[in-house]
């Protein structure tokens, strides 16, 4: 039958080690370069925008938002809600040397400048990563962050989700939410899911699960490809993947896009040439970057 189930353990771990697939730098060097790029971009964003940092949306230690306000806000404005990656866990040197992302909203504001200058608020969501946090709780936290935004900031006109890697997974889980349990229905007009993981079962068999400690049941109920909701009206989804993502990451993006389309969602797949798992998202700090322009065009169409 083929597929990930037939891969030797070492090959599967390599498939889910994003830093091993970049042609630019070695696996350790690219991690350091990525952390430096996102931290510097976030410093620039905070220096150049009006912000509200560490806004609590709940009582948990990680339940905080960073808000970057539009340069010239009107009475109402759209908001891009960004969910960071990091394999749902604290930064560490995994086995084998593989990745990982800044596991914090504090290095995740780099995408704000091109958006706030065009009248879009950017909201960066913090959540409790493993080993403290568990996956069910992370999904609940991100959903509750949107409920908080809707209730606290009535000036927001339309929410656009953007998540990278593990953050794309969490954004996809937001799309599967039954909002009747929350008392409000956020007006989600679009989602940009970048280099995500949408089926968690392969993760069970890699080093990534060492900190997450997921059971098969947890993995299944938190796999977006297995819990696609009925398509809402007026929500557009873009599933983006890098040329130099691993074959497994590329397969996951393709198959999740197909699952959404089969359920009637308005979805498109963007395969970005010349980028890897890291600079595909770093370049959102640049207004001329194709993915930045795609996001701005998505928002302008609403």
pLDDT digits (tens, 9 = 90+) for 65-95: 999 999 876 788 999 999 999 889 875 544 4
Cα separation values, 125 from 110, 143, 168, 209, Å: 13, 10, 12, 23
125 contacts 133 by C-beta, under 8 angstroms? no
E-assigned strand segments in 69-181: 77-83, 121-125, 156-164
**Does the pLDDT at position 55 exceed 80?**
yes
CATH of the domain at 229: 3.40.50.1820
Q: d(Cα 255, Cα 249) in Å, to the nearest integer? A: 10
Residue 302 scores a pLDDT above 50: yes
CB 27 within 8 A of CB 94: no
Distance, in Å, from the CA atom of 197 to the CA atom of 134, rounded to the nearest integer, reads 16
pTM: 0.94
CA distance 115 to 136: 31
Are the CB atoms for 175 and 239 separated by under 8 Å? no
Q: pLDDT > 70: what percent of the chain?
A: 94
pLDDT at position 2, please? 54
What confidence score (pLDDT) does residue 73 get?
A: 67
Query: Over the stretch 260-270, which tens digit does the pLDDT of each residue have?
Result: 999 999 999 99
Q: What is the mean pLDDT of residues 192-199?
A: 98
Mean pLDDT for the stretch of residues 52-65: 94
pLDDT tens digits along 94-116: 444 444 444 588 899 999 999 99
pLDDT of 9-29, one tens digit each?
Answer: 899 999 999 999 999 988 888
- For 73-105, what is the HEC assignment? CCCCEEEEEEECCCCCECCCCCCCCCCCCCCCH
The active-site residue out of 19, 22, 165, 285 is 165
Per-residue pLDDT reduced to its tens digit, 144-192 = 999 999 999 988 999 999 999 999 999 999 999 999 999 999 999 999 9
The closest alpha carbon to 104, from 138, 80, 128, belongs to 128
Peptide bond into 100 cis (omega under 30): yes
Catalytic residue status for 165 = yes
Q: Quick check: 263 and 230 in contact, CB under 8 A? A: yes
List the helix and strand counts (H, then E) for the chain.
10, 8
Q: Is 245 a catalytic residue?
A: yes
State the pLDDT at residue 151: 94
Q: Which residues pair with 153 in a beta bridge?
A: none
Mean pLDDT across 125-133? 90
* 61 or 176, which is more confident: 176
**pLDDT band (50, 70, 90) for residue 133:** confident
Query: What is the reported pLDDT for 103?
Result: 58
Cα(269)–Cα(241) distance, integer angstroms: 8
3-state secondary structure of 56: strand
Q: At what angle do helices 135-152 and 166-175 cross, to 10 degrees?
A: 60
Residue located via tokens 């060492």: 210
Q: How many domains does the chain have?
A: 1
- Full domain range(s) for residue 261: 4-301
User: Among residues 106, 253, 277, 279, which one is catalytic?
Assistant: 277
Q: Considering the candidates 106, 199, 245, 279, report the single residue annotated as catalytic.
A: 245
Q: Which two tokens stand for residue 170?
A: 């969490």
């Amino acid at each position: 039958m083929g597929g990930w189930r037939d891969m030797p353990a070492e090959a599967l771990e390599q498939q889910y080690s994003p830093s091993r697939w970049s042609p630019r730098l070695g696996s350790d060097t690219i991690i350091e370069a990525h952390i430096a790029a996102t931290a510097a971009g976030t410093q620039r964003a905070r220096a150049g925008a009006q912000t509200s940092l560490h806004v609590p949306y709940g009582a948990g230690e990680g339940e905080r938002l960073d808000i970057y306000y539009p340069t010239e806000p009107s009475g109402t404005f759209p908001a891009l809600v960004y969910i960071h990656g990091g394999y749902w866990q604290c930064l560490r040197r995994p086995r084998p040397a593989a990745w990982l992302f800044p596991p914090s909203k504090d290095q995740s504001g780099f995408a704000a400048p091109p958006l706030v200058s065009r009248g879009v608020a950017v909201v960066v969501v913090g959540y409790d990563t493993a080993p403290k946090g568990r996956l069910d709780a992370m999904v609940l936290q991100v959903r509750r962050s949107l409920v908080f935004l809707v209730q606290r900031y009535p000036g927001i006109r339309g929410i656009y989700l953007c998540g990278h890697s593990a953050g794309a997974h969490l954004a996809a889980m937001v799309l599967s939410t039954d909002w009747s349990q929350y008392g409000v229905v956020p007006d989600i007009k679009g989602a940009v899911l970048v280099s995500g993981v949408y089926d968690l079962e392969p993760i069970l068999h890699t080093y990534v699960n060492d900190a997450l400690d997921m059971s098969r049941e947890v993995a299944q109920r938190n796999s977006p490809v297995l819990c696609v909701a009925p398509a809402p009206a007026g929500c557009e989804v873009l599933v983006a993947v890098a040329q130099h993502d691993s074959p497994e990451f590329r397969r996951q993006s393709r198959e999740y896009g197909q699952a959404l389309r089969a359920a009637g969602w308005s979805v498109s797949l963007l395969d970005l040439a010349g980028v890897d798992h890291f600079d595909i998202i770093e370049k959102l700090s640049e207004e001329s970057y194709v993915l930045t322009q795609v996001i701005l065009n998505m928002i302008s169409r609403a």
